[in-house]
Structure 1
C-alpha cells in the first residue's frame, strides 16, 4: 500500500489506524499515541495528505495557545471487507474508514459443523462479493473475519471449524483472493468493537456475553482484549454444567453451549415436536 521502507510504512499505518479509531487528531496527539517525535509525525502526515490518505479538518478549539491543525482519514480512500460468521450463516459487507457500508450486506446460509466444503464456500462468497462491489482491489486493506470456535489469532487457525489442511485458514483464503486476511473469535471481536467504538471506550474492565446459535464471552482487562496464555480465554460456553449432557465440539459432555444456546433450544424443540409435543 505504501511504496517505502518497512519502518516508514509502519508509521503510516499506525497514523491511519489511530485516526480510524479516534476520528480527528493533531500531530502532537499522534506523536503521543505513536511514540514518535513530532517532526517525524508531521513529515508522515504531510506525505499521507499529499497521497490522499489523510485530510485536514481545520483547527482544533483554542486552549489558550496556538490552535493546532487536526486531521482525519479520507474515508473513501481505503476499504475493509467485513465477514461475520455464526454456525449457520455468514454476512459479508465492505465498509469505508468511517464504518459506512459501501456495498449491500449479503447474508448467505453456510453451515460450519460437519461441512468439509465450508471453507471453499466461504472463500467463494467473499471473492464474489468483492467482484460485485466494483471496487478497485488495490484500495481494499484486507479481509476481517469473525467466527465461532477456538481461534488462534497469531497462526490464523480455527481448531473447531474450517479445516484448511496443511495451510492456515488465513493463508488458504489469501492465496485465492489475493488480500490480507485476519481472523478472530466472534465474541472477542464484539468486545473489541465495544472497546474501540462503543460503550467500553472509557472502561478498563468489561465482559461481553454473546448469545446466539452458540454462547461466547469476550473480555477486556485493563483496557485490552484478554486472550489468556493459550489464546482461548473466555470460552465459557464449554464449562460443563451436567455430567450426562450432549457431546460438545470441544469433546466434553454437558457444556453450557450444548444446553443453553439457540442450537440446543432448536434441537430440543425439534425432538419435542417429533414426540408429539405441541409447539
Structure 2
C-alpha cells in the first residue's frame, strides 16, 4: 500500500506528498533544466536577452528555432523547456497585451503581465485534468521608462531579477551573473555579460548559435544582428569566426585524407 500511495502522489498533479512536495511541478522544473539556457540582464538602458539557439542538426533551418519573442512594442520574452508549452504561454501573453491596449488605451505593465501569466500557470498545479507547463519564461520590458525583468517558473512564482538564467547549466551561469552584474551596465555590456555567462556552460559555440534581443524605451523590442553579437564575442575573448573553425576542420580532413593515401601507397608497395 505504501508503494501505491507514493505512486498516487507521484502522478497526482494537484496532490501534496506527506513531505509537502508536488512531484509534477518538480518534474516540470526538471524539463526546464534540460532545455537550452536563456539569460536575461537588466541594464541602465533596457533589458537584454541572450539565448542559446543552436540547431540540433545541420538539416534544420536555424530560423525555425524559437527562443526569443516579441510580446509588445515594449515587451519581450525568452523561454526554456518544452517549446510547445512555451508557445501557449507566449500566445496568451500577446493576447493579454493587445487586450490591454483595446480596453485601456495603454501598454500593459511588465509586472502586471507577468503576474497574469503566473496566475494562469499556477492554476495548472491545483486543477485536475491538466499538467504543469514544462516551460519557464523570462519577461522583460519598460515600465514608465524603467527597465524591469521577471522570471516565471512552472510553479507559477513570479520573481523580479537584475540578471538571471533559465534552462540548463543554471548554477554555473547564475554564479557568473552574480559575480559580474553591476549597476549602470550599458546594453553592449549587458550583451557581453550574457555571452560570457553562457560560455561557462557551453564550451564551444559561435555567434550564429545565439539569439539576442534588447528592449529599450527608445527602440522598443529589437533583435540584435549577428554582427553585433560577433563584436560581443570578440570583446569577451571568445572566438567569433565560425568560418575559420570550418576551414580548420576542412584542413584536418584533408590532412587525414593525405595520410590515408600514403598508407594505401605503402600497402601497395608491400604487396609488390
Taking structure 1 as the reference length, what is the TM-score of the superposition?
0.27
Which of the two has higher C-alpha Rg?
2
Q: Which has the higher helix share?
A: 2
* TM-score (norm: length of structure 2): 0.27
